[in-house]
Amino acid sequence: MAKIKGFVEFSIEQCKGCELCIEACPFDVLEMSHQVNGKGYTYPLMKHPEQCTGCTSCALVCPDVVITVYKVPTKK
Amino acid sequence: MEIDVEQYKKDLLAQGAEVVFSKTKNLTDTPFSYCGGCGHGVAHRLIMEVIEEMGITDKTIGVAPVGCAVIAYEFWNIDAVQAAHGRASAVATGIKRTNPEKFVFAYQGDGDLAAIGTAETVHTCNRGENIAIFFINNGIYGMTGGQMAPTSLIGMPSSTAPYGRNPDMHGYPLSLTNLLAQLPGTYYITRQAVNTAANVRKCKKAIRQAFENQKLKKGVSLVEIVTNCNSGWKMTARQANKWLEENMLSQYPLGDIKVPKTDN
Ligand SMILES: Cc1ncc(C[n+]2csc(CCOP(=O)(O)OP(=O)(O)O)c2C)c(N)n1
Ligand code: SF4
Ligand code: SF4
Ligand code: SF4
Ligand SMILES: [Mg+2]
């Protein structure tokens, strides 16, 4: 079976640095930045993009709707 | 080896990557006023996603409470009003009775629904109004600085019970949801949470059910959503979700409490 591949994008300025997305990712894709956004919060980055499956878990728990998820459609 | 993230995204787009999750149009661009990690944001999003998916954006009227969600109408891109403290279900009753073709919901915290608004909540349910109630239970008065609520757990510290809730002095945690299930006017009652991706998925199904039920005119559908209040609980968001799992869910177990009888 072909590997399922996806990636995520963040509206960084909307992020409040709660880290719930980090906790929710089953594939250890995300880590928090060392920089801060305009509100002074750290925000998530893709540390291991190649491990992202586009499963949407991070986006589902994000309280501030920061995350957009993309996925490569799996071929039949 | 470090992967170039921007290049990786471009490669996947070239392979046909599509958006599988994005922000619903039923939320405005106004950033939520909630603390980082607060469950109110997820609850708002799920309700607004369901309204978009059902195609009832122009047919739905929400009622915001007093509590942290007092300006929810700034975030919901739908028609909404804001009620006096605890009275959201009474206001929703009036809206639904005068606009029976609309989908109407009340959105209320535990201080709002199960303390100051207890009478309105009980009588709305007893009258069997055809509305949905979304009950955001974080076991505390979040907005006003973390005072004890009727829903606070035994031993749970708060600004008005700094040594923890003591039942001899403060009484017991009130599960109004279970009491409401006894009333013939309630049609569907369930308790959900939004602390994990799996629970978010289940919660969204319950919210959808609550809206679908309104078409049947069989009474109140109430979805309790157990959430964190990391500021009031004096924890980080991650600690609060863990504490919720370990403490709130034993007092407020998840699952359906009253489901419609299937006729056969
Ligand atoms: C008539 C009246 N009494 C008291 C208050 C003060 N007050 C504002 S919000 C609130 C409690 C809110 O708690 P809850 O409903 O649990 O909402 P949360 O902020 O936790 O989401 C209280 C007591 C008020 N605004 N109006
Ligand atoms: S979409 Fe899934 S795998 Fe990708 S970062 Fe989010 S939680 Fe992790
Ligand atoms: S869950 Fe959302 S708000 Fe919290 S850190 Fe992740 S992206 Fe930011
Ligand atoms: S005080 Fe509590 S309920 Fe209010 S926004 Fe902050 S975390 Fe949420
Ligand atoms: Mg509360």
Domain annotation for chain B: domains and CATH numbers: 26-258 (3.40.50.970)
What is the 3-state secondary structure of A6-70?
EEEEECHHHCCCCCHHHHHCCCCCEEECCCCCCCCCCCEEECCHHHCCCCCHHHHHCCCCCEEEE
A72 vs B15, B22, B32: nearest CB: B15
Q: Does residue B188 contact residue B197 with C-beta atoms inside 8 Å?
A: no
Residue with tokens 């939320």: B27
Chain B residues closer than 8 Å to A71 by CB: 17-18, 20
Q: Is residue B158 within 6 Å of ligand 1 at its C-beta?
A: no
What pLDDT was estimated at residue B263?
A: 59
For residue B104, give the H/E element and its range: strand B103-109
CA dihedral B124, B127, B132, B134 (to 10 degrees): 30
Is the CB of B149 within 6 Å of ligand 1?
yes
B154 close to B148: Cβ distance less than 8 angstroms: no
DSSP symbol at B235: S
pLDDT at B2 (0 to 100) = 78
pLDDT value at A76 more than 80? no
Kindly report the CATH number assigned to the domain that includes residue A45: 3.30.70.20
Residue recorded with tokens 């369930």: B190
Type of residue at B49: E
pLDDT tens per residue across span B237-262: 999 999 999 999 999 999 999 998 77
Tell me the per-residue pLDDT of B192-207, one tens digit each, with 9 for 90 and over: 999 999 999 999 999 9
Query: Would A43 be classed as within a structural domain?
Result: yes
Report the residue count for chain B: 264
Contacts of the segment B211-214: beta carbons below 8 A, 24+ positions apart: B211/B50, B211/B51, B211/B54, B211/B56, B211/B103, B211/B105, B211/B132, B212/B54, B213/B132, B213/B187, B213/B188, B213/B260, B214/B103, B214/B104, B214/B130, B214/B131, B214/B132
For residue A45, tell me if it sits in a domain.
yes
| Residue with the two structure tokens 């209040």 | B229
- A-facing residues of B in 102-141 (CB < 8 A) are none
Identify the CA nearest to B195 among candidates B249, B150, B147, B148. Answer: B249
Distance CA B42, CA B29 (A): 15
Instruction: Give the residue from chain A lying closest to B16, CA to CA.
Output: A72
Tell me which residue has tokens 């973390």. Answer: B146
Chain B CB within 8 Å of residue A54 CB: yes
Domain that residue A47 falls in:
6-71
B117-171 per-position pLDDT tens digit? 999 999 999 999 999 999 999 999 999 999 999 999 999 999 999 999 999 999 9
pLDDT, tens digit (0-9, with 9 covering 90-100), for B8-66: 999 999 999 999 999 999 999 999 999 999 999 999 999 999 999 999 999 999 999 99
Residue B264 has pLDDT above 60, yes or no: no
Q: How confident is the model at residue A71 (pLDDT cuts 50, 70, 90)?
A: very high
pLDDT recorded at residue A50 = 96
**pTM tops 0.90:** yes
Residue A14 lies in a domain: yes
- Residue nearest atom 8 of ligand 2, based on CA coordinates: A25
Reduce the DSSP state of residue B94 to 3 states and report it.
Answer: helix
Which residue is it, tokens 């009888």?
Answer: B261
Residue type, B253: P
What single letter denotes the amino acid at residue B95?
I
Q: Is the CB of B235 under 6 A from ligand 4?
A: no
Q: Is residue A50 part of a domain?
A: yes
What is the tally of structural domains in chain A? Answer: 1
Within a domain: A76: no
Point out which residues pair with A32 in neighbouring strands.
A44
What is the model's pLDDT at position B244? 98
Asked if the model's pLDDT at residue B85 lies above 90, the reply is yes
Question: Does residue A1 fall inside a structural domain?
Answer: no
A19 domain-assigned: yes
User: How far, in Å, CA of B47 to CA of B44, rounded?
Assistant: 5
Confidence of residue A75 (pLDDT cuts 50, 70, 90): confident
CB of B34 within 8 A of CB of B68?
A: yes
Q: What is the pLDDT of residues B89-101, one digit of tens each?
A: 999 999 999 999 9
CA proximity to B207, closest of B220, B228, B229, B222: B222
